[in-house]
Amino acid sequence: MNEADLIISIGSRFSDRTYSAKSRMQDPQGRVIHIDVDPTEFGKHRHPDRIDLLGDAGKVVNMLNAKLKGYSCDKGWTDKAKGYRERCTCNIDIGSKPIVPQKVMFEINKILKKDTIVTTDVGQNQIWAMHHLQIESPRRLLSSGTFGTMGFGLPAAIGAKAARPESDVIAITGDGGFQMVMQEMSTSLAEDLPVTVVLLNNGTLGMVRQWQKLFWGQRYSNTTLYSEPDFVKLAEAFGAKGIRVDKPGEIGDALKEARDCGRTCLVEIAVDQDEDILPMIPADPKADIVKGRCAF
């Protein structure tokens, strides 16, 4: 975004999840075309050089495509983007203990097939999945995006399995979001819709705790989940299979066992509660971007 001459935004809310004042969208040199069906969304980013197009996203985009016939993009930018992809170190194999979520995603990548469908919950687990999973095919990663719908992962996985019963389906969730919908394991078993639930258990509401850690002086409040159930026993109580993983070397075998067991299986993986999802752009424009391991 910082290097873009023109940003075409289709239905973006322009909240702190999608841009910040550090973006060049605040720079008069850049330009923005904002497409939305709701006129109240226009102007939120306060960019002086913008064009607002009110209308259905599909119709407006088709009109733009018609005008762009014969246009070819800058090869230099294409080569630069390919270079970023080649140099990206996001597929991280870290064998440390406690387990870091990046290692879990590394192991999930090993068992992904072309038609595997992955769903995510909301929070750190969601962003780690989007950041690290190598999913190339369309409609194979289902997430509620920035809507913040905690509990989305498991029901979405069950729905995906109903729509594509021949595909493996993996739900990636956290211990907070999973407890909002864990009764839906009963639905997956009653309807014979087996899915693999990868539960990243850090004992906290991780995304909120990370904000408290990085921007509120580690003043933690109501983010530690002090009294959690035994998730393996819970899965077994529903009639599902449960596997607990405490060592990084056990992750791969557990995922394969869950995939091949023939019924819904929950793989609970104890992960480091101090591992943050980075880089992170703060809402406060005066605060610095927090950088992490994965960098170009």
For each of the domains in the chain, give its residue range(s) and CATH number, in order of start. Answer: 6-71 (no CATH), 101-270 (3.40.50.970)
Report whether 33 contacts 6 (CB < 8 A): yes
Q: What pLDDT shows up at residue 296?
A: 41
Q: What are phi and psi of 269, to 5 degrees?
A: -120, 120
Residue 65 amino acid letter: N
Token couple for 91: 């597929």
- pTM (2 decimals)? 0.84
Q: What pLDDT shows up at residue 5?
A: 81
Residue 166 amino acid letter: E
Query: Can you tell me the distance from the alpha carbon of 154 to that of 91, in angstroms, rounded to the nearest whole number?
Result: 25
Token couple for 7: 């940003």
Q: What pLDDT shows up at residue 293?
A: 64
At 161, is the secondary structure helix, strand, or coil?
A: helix
At 64, is the secondary structure helix, strand, or coil?
A: helix
* Residues of the chain below pLDDT 70: 1-2, 15-29, 46, 283-287, 293-296
Cα 249 to chain centroid distance, Å, stands at: 24
Closest to 118 in 3D by CA, of 140, 136, 102, 151: 140
Q: What pLDDT shows up at residue 133?
A: 95
Report whether 92 contacts 134 (CB < 8 A): no
Q: How far is CA 251 from CA 237, 246, 259, in A?
A: 23, 8, 12
Token couple for 157: 């996985």
Q: How far is CA 209 from CA 173, 183, 221, 270, 278, in A?
A: 16, 25, 8, 17, 14
Cα 209 to chain centroid distance, Å, stands at: 17
Q: Rounded to 5 degrees, what angle do the CA atoms 221, 222, 227 make? A: 135
Strand order across the beta sheet in which 265-270 lies: 141-142, 117-120, 169-174, 196-201, 265-270, 241-245
**DSSP single-letter state for residue 234:** H
**Cis status of the peptide bond prior to 279, with omega within 30 of 0:** yes
